[in-house]
Chains A and B, each alone.
Chain A
Amino acid sequence: MDIKRNYYEDIELFKSNTILVWSILFLLFLAVLPWLIVKYHLLGLSIYIVNLITVHAIVAVGLNILVGFTGQISMGHAGFFALGAFSTVILVLNWSMPLFIALPIAGFVSSAFGFILGLPALRLKGPYLAIATLGFGMTITTVIKHMEFFGGRMGLQAPKLELFGTLMKDVHFYYMIMIIAVVMVIGAVKLMKTRVGRAFIAIRDSDIAAEAMGVNLTYYKTLAFAVSAFYTGIAGGLYAFILGFINPESFHLIMSITFLAMVVVGGLGSIMGPICGAALMTFLDIKLQAIQDISLIGPALVAFSQKYMSLAGISNIAVIVYGLIMILIVLFEPLGIFGFWIRTKRYWKTWPF
């Protein structure tokens, strides 16, 4: 079944009719999701949470292009995220641009910085690259914090968006984000099947071998950074409008780490994996932030905190769980959710054996 007979089968978006049908069903599910949430309170979700998940999914797909496919480590994606968010808000607020023009521009601003960061990254590998990108992420927020142009320490208020003369609600926003996300995810899937994507994968597997094969390392490594930053920048712009308010303090190191965690938990080197990872981690994060509201566990933990810990810091349990998941995934399932899915599939394919 898996034999490919010609090149075009390899680059097809849908490998088989089954996948096509499931994809269409999934898109339909996404289309009716707001209705399901409003009517049945599916999983206790709200449209705000789904919006956040979608934005994080865009970041995770973008980061995965860099980490999972090109094999470059980045711990500074909160910096690109902040760049996207601030440039979108400034473009819309000060220069009164419509969002659909401001968003791509913000993406390109972010990817320009990605390109600049990609230049020193050419000479760096592994741990050193992690240090350099970590520094980048922390520096961007410091610079933003100290410049009046970006609203300084106070941050910026995102303007309310209008659609055909009426204020946009969460539901309208949901459809807008979801359409952008679907387009960008399909773009990523397609990109990985082109010459560029295969060059990325070759660099990940061995950059010296790739160079010997004629892959231009300078071009493709900086391109990977730029593409990844572009995705993150666009997601950042959307994030600013979901929150309605951004300040530089919120784009800290922990945010970069959570992005990395989403990719690793979801599965490196796949497209669906990071999306699942983003959904799982964002959902967990939001639910655990308000752990005292969860029935049964909540009150017990509150009592425990009052006795031995501090009640003010109870939301930090989310951080502990986050860290634990990251460690456990690396130890027991290095390919993440995607690896788990592959193993399950293989088990059932060859079931009696």
Chain B
Amino acid sequence: MFGQLIVSGLAVGACYALLALAMVIIYKTSEVLNFAQGEMAMISTFIAFTLLDTYHVPFPYAFAITFLFAILLAVFFEMVFLRQAKDPTVLGLIIITLGFEMMLMGFVGWKWGPDQRSLPFPVSNIETYNFSGMIISKINFWTIIVSLILMFILFLFFRYTKMGIAMRATQQNQLAARVMGIRTKRIFSFTWALSSMVGTVAGMLIAALGVLDPPMMMDPLLKGFASGVLGGMTSLPGAALGGALLGIIENLFGGYVSLSFKSVVAFAIIVLMLCIKPSGLLAKHYVKKV
């Protein structure tokens, strides 16, 4: 029972971790808290659904097209809306992402209607693997594997590629990065594209674990934020760790205490973390000067 709860919690936590990673990538670079993350992932997932279900595109191609769409969407948003804001305040940036969220949500509701669907995913969510007594459903197993692979790729990308290093430089000091010849505006667009891709994977996994309908990302969005806060909004490994921890804690709470109040855990964690250690588990604390 305990092991089962941990494993299934880890699978859900992996989705949260990906969503949190997507948010942290953006927040670290541009200090924008992306409230549209969930909906950007949702619309990409709906695109994937249409390709798979209506046009019967093979899964790898559908996946590639969805990725392309996610990149275009993010770059479009960054260039058309976010870049146009002159000296935006924190509230202004939040309002812009919220507005974009509502637009996407309205569009999906208009195009696909409010029905619940299920994403045709190559991995079944009924069959199970049996590892010496421990039973894991296939979808949970592959969710964990896919997220681990993606995290590893992200790690390699930020550590070893030129673009990744340029992104880290921009995160540290935008002005200095520009002096060094990095096109910071392009870096911002690229950051959004990267984050949108990671978010899309999270969206597809969440849709595969549950159902696909317009409000499906509302709850995971909060969980993503909670994971980010738990691990630290400015730390990528922190976000991954936070997601996994949140998934496990939530599942244990659901299993042993109360199933119906499971979603309170995320809020409790946010408040506790922010009161005890606002910078999160893995991020370094830094104080803003006046």
Contacts and interface: CB of A to CB of B under 8 A. Distances in A.
Contacts of A310: 110-113
A98 interface: no
Contacts of B218: 138, 252-253
A313 B110 contact: yes
Given A131-B229, A134-B222, A146-B260, A313 B111 contact: yes
Contacts of A143: 261, 264
Tell me if A's interface is mostly helix, strand, loop or mixed.
Answer: helix
B271 A130 contact: no
Contacts of A253: 218
Interface residues of A, number: 54
Contacts of B106: 316-323
A112 interface: no
Contacts of B261: 142-143, 146
B254 interface: no
Nearest to B34: A127
Contact of B99 (A120, A136, A323): A323
B290 interface: yes
A64 to B, nearest CB: 12
B32 to A, nearest CB: 8
Contact of B274 (A128, A146, A318, A324): A128
B275 interface: yes
B81 interface: yes
A300 interface: no
B27 A330 contact: no
Interface in A234-290: 252-254, 257, 260-261, 264, 268
A135 B110 contact: no
Nearest to B107: A320
Nearest to B31: A127
Of A135, A142, A146, A317, most B-chain CB atoms within 10 Å: A135
Nearest to B263: A142
Contact of B27 (A127, A314, A334): A127
Contacts of A126: 90-91
Interface residues of B, number: 54
A130 B33 contact: yes
B167 interface: no
A344 interface: no
A252 B102 CA distance: 13
B225 A323 contact: no
Of B27, B100, B102, B261, most A-chain CB atoms within 10 Å: B102
B278 A309 contact: no
Contacts of B263: 138-139, 142
B92 interface: yes
A252 B88 CA distance: 27
A349 B155 CA distance: 60
B19 to A, nearest CB: 13
B274 A330 contact: no
A142 B218 CA distance: 13
Interface string A321-353: 111111101110010000000000000000000
Interface of A: 67, 73, 75, 120, 123-124, 126-128, 130-132, 134-136, 138-139, 142-143, 146, 206, 208-209, 252-254, 257, 260-261, 264, 268, 305, 308-310, 312-314, 316-327, 329-331, 334
Given A127-B33, A324-B103, 17 more contacts: A134-B222, A135-B226, A138-B222, A142-B263, A142-B264, A252-B218, A253-B218, A310-B113, A316-B109, A320-B103, A322-B102, A325-B99, A326-B95, A326-B99, A327-B99, A327-B100, A331-B84
